[in-house]
Amino acid sequence: MWELSGLTSEQKIGQLLMLGFSGTRPSSYIKRLISEYGLGGVVLFGCNIDQPLQVARLCGELQELALDSPSAIPLFIAIDQEGGRVVRLKDGFTPLPTMASLGATGSVQLAYSLGELIGRELGWLGINMDLAPVLDVNSQLKNPVIGDRAFGDDPALVARLGGAIRNGLNQAGVLAVGKHFPGHGDTMLDSHLGLPLVIQPRQGLDQRELVPFKAAIADDFEALMPAHVLYTALDGEYPATLSNKILTKLLRQELGFKGLVLSDDMLMRAMDQDRLPHLAVRAVQAGIDMLLFGREDAPIAQVIEALLQAVTQETISQARLDQAIGTTIQLKNKWLNPPPKPDYEQLKDLGCQAHRQVIKTINQRAKMTVA
């Protein structure tokens, strides 16, 4: 069992960070940061993926580096494996349908089966966290970033299928991260490109955007990702990622969420890239438990220094720091004890007939519904 009390200040800051890196082997950048800080996690993107055996070996190496570091705490190894256009694992893996196709079936059982097969394939590789499901309601049809990533425009349907996907992933031993709280479906701008704005009264958010997240919290979802979106009815100054009103007062206190709050990529243009160290501090103050920086060009040295200084000066209170890291370690003790390893023997079953049959059934049922 890992404990908060045994960590140095640097190792505590390390647990606040989930980092991306370049290459199909652990880069010198990620090796150094794991060794020096014992990172909370790493995130894999297309640049890290070649073929299944390589991915499994990569995950095994990363986990060994973490366990050999002074903190000896395993990594969350995360990936965006949603389905449709947002998948990182392609060649050699089961081809996944869009969530809109799954939504068209309306089937909780198929959603569970899909989540379970995704979780099995991730687990065989040594990946233990999926940045999915999307719990956004596709309420704005011209939305450039959500669209068919969502199950549909019915909040109750999104809640049911999102919960089923999560249950399937969890059953396979993979931690699901619901996103993007409190909802990215009613925007006209992609937060990768700028800061979207949602001008909707609180009553409207309660009746639509918040419905799947309230259901997720009631169902004990253990991790959520907020949106880089400004919600004027909730906080007219800060986007959700930086908002104490949204992350602490609404999510934690009003809705009762007790799990991990993982930021979306801080290198997206919705965040002011010239002020990232300051924004990292602000995000942790607001309620972010783990900060995601998806590329090696992130100013990580400056971010770490800003976080260390904020803790020393109590700009980030000791209670807030301990809450963030305590939540992370609690989940690691549950999900990563013992640390999951790649199952090389099972790699032969990636994209197997049973998995492809689930996808075939989803696609057939979706076509019948649309027709």
- The Cα 211–Cα 226 span in angstroms is 15
Q: Look at residue 222 and tell me whether its pLDDT is greater than 90.
A: yes
How many of the other CB atoms lie within 10 Å of CB of 156?
A: 12
How many of the other CB atoms lie within 10 Å of CB of 319?
A: 9
pLDDT in tens, 164-176: 999 999 999 999 9
Among left, alpha and beta (phi > 0; psi -120 to 50; other), residue 346 is: alpha
How many of the other CB atoms lie within 10 Å of CB of 171?
A: 13
Q: What is the pLDDT of residue 51?
A: 95
**Residue 178, CB-side half-sphere exposure with 13 Å CA sphere:** 34
Lowest mean pLDDT among 2-16, 45-59, 102-116, 273-287: 2-16
Q: Which comes out higher in pLDDT, residue 3 or 329?
A: 329
Q: Which residues are part of the catalytic machinery?
A: 192, 264
Structural domains in the chain? 4-370 (3.20.20.300)
With cut-offs at 50, 70 and 90, classify the pLDDT of residue 190.
low
Q: Name the percent of the chain lying above pLDDT 70.
A: 98
Residue 167 vs residues 44, 137, 307: alpha-carbon distances, Å: 22, 19, 35
- The Cα 151–Cα 179 span in angstroms is 13
Bridge partners (DSSP) listed for residue 260: 223
Residue 226 and residue 264 in contact, taking contact as beta carbons nearer than 8 Å: yes
Residue 289 and residue 181 in contact, taking contact as beta carbons nearer than 8 Å: no
- The Cα 350–Cα 332 span in angstroms is 26
Task: Output the six-digit token pair for 135.
Answer: 């719990």
- The Cα 211–Cα 206 span in angstroms is 6
Residue of 134, 163, 164, 167 whose CA lies nearest to 151: 134
What mean pLDDT is predicted for residues 208-229? 97
Residue written as token pair 């705490």: 73
Residue 179 phi, psi dihedral angles, 5° rounding: -145, 160
Amino acid at residue number 309: Q
3-state secondary structure of 291: strand
What mean pLDDT is predicted for residues 279-287? 98
Please tell me whether the overall predicted TM-score, pTM, comes out greater than 0.85 for this model: yes
Q: Look at residue 211 and tell me whether its pLDDT is greater than 60.
A: yes
What mean pLDDT is predicted for residues 127-146? 89
Residue 243 and residue 286 in contact, taking contact as beta carbons nearer than 8 Å: yes
Residue 299 phi, psi dihedral angles, 5° rounding: -80, 65
With cut-offs at 50, 70 and 90, classify the pLDDT of residue 3.
confident
Give me the count of residues in the chain. 371
What mean pLDDT is predicted for residues 116-125? 98
Q: What is the mean pLDDT of the chain?
A: 94
Q: Look at residue 188 and tell me whether its pLDDT is greater than 70.
A: no
Q: What is the pLDDT of residue 189?
A: 63
Q: Look at residue 191 and tell me whether its pLDDT is greater than 70.
A: no
Q: Look at residue 143 and tell me whether its pLDDT is greater than 80.
A: no
Q: Look at residue 220 and tell me whether its pLDDT is greater than 90.
A: yes
With cut-offs at 50, 70 and 90, classify the pLDDT of residue 271.
very high
Q: Look at residue 371 and tell me whether its pLDDT is greater than 70.
A: no
Residue 243 vs residues 177, 229, 279: alpha-carbon distances, Å: 19, 10, 11
